[in-house]
Amino acid sequence: MTTDAALRAPLHRWRRRARLLPKGWDNAVGQVLMMIVSLICVFPVYWMIVTSLRPENEIFSSALWSDAVSLDNYAYALGTMPMVRMLVNTFTVSLVVTPVQLLTGILAGYAFARWRFRGAGFLFGAIALTWLVPLQVVMIPNYLLVARMGMIDSLGALILPHVASAFAIMLLAQAMRSFPSEVIEAARMDGATHAHILWQLIVPNLRGTLAPLAILIFITTWNEYFWPLLLTRSPENSVVQIGLQMFITAEGTQWGPLMAASTMASLPILLIYLVLQRQVIASFMKSGLR
């Protein structure tokens, strides 16, 4: 009893003080904190863009904006590396990997959620364990497999190891398990096959899960670095993340061109987010991915 009274006393004092504060103060404090956090997140992007527009003699200036705006860094980056070709390669790989991973995730998720077969639990656990294994562990075996197939320095080699995702399989399997079984049983009684149930009944109702999953897959594939670094040999068959490394040498880092190339590499993702901002936020809220 003494402990409860000791705990309640500070709570009552805090409530009395809260009543004396202006109405809506908690919302104002929350908004101020969110503005501060937003500025902290946005400032590195702003600084990258500003640095890319600085002339060489002002690269290390601490001013928030440069009066002498120059596009020389962009011209140098485009002339030094095949930036456009690398952006097209990166976009192609991301655009192919995203629907392929969604397809394999949907098919495997439906099998684990609706089919009963021997060893299903063990197989699902094995897939979950592969998600916990770092890429560096399987990088060399995958490299040897791709090398034996003669796919070194090709876009196919960047796509092949990513045709299936353990995260996508687990997420979609859980989403399909929560789908009402009564609806599926009613469809079966009407003579619907597994294909009809999956593509005409379940998948259209999983848009809230598929949309954020597709965004995560696309962004993760776009930012992939170690696997392309291991496989690509020529800049023409490489991705933009590898191109950024060209400006970091033993002699020093070319900060201006590096920031210009980084801005061009980030621009497609930023544009996709700005165009699909409401859909992205709504999809993440519906799917529970926060």
Q: What is the pLDDT of residue 23?
A: 57
Going by C-beta distance under 8 Å and a sequence separation of 6 or more, which residues neighbour residue 7?
none
Burial status of residue 2 (CB atoms within 10 A of its CB: 0-12, 13-18, 19 or more): exposed
The amino acid at residue 164 is: A
Q: Are residues 277 and 144 part of one domain?
A: yes
- Report if residue 69 sits inside a domain: no
- Tell me the residue range of the domain where 89 lies: 75-287
Query: Tell me, what's the pLDDT at 22?
Result: 59
* 197, 283: one domain: yes
Quote the pLDDT of residue 91: 92
Residue 68 located in a structural domain = no
Q: Are residues 129 and 209 in the same domain?
A: yes
Helix axes 166-177, 83-114, angle to 10 degrees: 40
| Dist CA 246 CA 79 (whole Å) | 12
* pLDDT given for residue 100 in this prediction: 95
Query: Residue 57 gets which letter from DSSP?
Result: G
- Secondary structure (3-state) at 127: helix
> DSSP assignment, residue 267?
H
Same domain flag for 39 and 132? no
Residue 276, domain member (yes or no): yes
Q: Does residue 63 lie within any of the structural domains?
A: no
User: Same structural domain for residues 27 and 112?
Assistant: no
Per-residue pLDDT of the chain in tens (290 residues, 90 and over written 9): 455 555 555 555 555 555 555 555 667 777 888 889 988 988 999 999 999 998 888 888 878 887 778 888 999 888 888 888 999 999 999 999 999 999 999 999 999 988 888 888 888 888 888 888 887 788 888 889 888 988 888 888 899 888 988 989 998 998 898 888 888 888 888 888 888 888 988 998 888 788 888 888 998 899 888 889 888 888 888 899 888 888 888 777 888 899 999 999 888 888 887 777 776 666 556 554 44
Asked whether residue 270 is domain-assigned, the answer is yes
| φ and ψ of 30, to 5 deg | -65, -40
Identify the pLDDT of residue 1: 46
Q: Is residue 134 part of a domain?
A: yes
Number of domains in the chain: 2
47 and 94 part of one domain: no
Tell me what pLDDT residue 26 has: 62
- At 101 the pLDDT is 95
* Whether residues 176 and 41 fall in one domain: no
pTM of the entire structure? 0.80
Same domain for 164 and 38? no
Q: Which of 37, 52, 67 is the last residue of a domain?
A: 52
- Do both 273 and 239 map to the same domain? yes
Could you tell me if residue 34 is inside a domain? yes
Residues 95 and 48 in one domain: no
d(CA 130, CA 117): 21
Torsion over CA of 125, 126, 129 and 133, rounded to 10 degrees? -170
Structure-block tokens of residue 185: 């049983």
Q: Can you give the CATH number for the domain in which 200 is found? A: 1.10.3720.10
The number of beta carbons lying within 10 Å of the beta carbon of residue 272 is: 15
pLDDT at 99: 94
Does 98 lie in the same domain as 230? yes
Residues 17, 87, single domain; the answer is no
Would you state the pLDDT for residue 290? Answer: 40
Asked if residue 122 is part of any domain, the answer here is yes
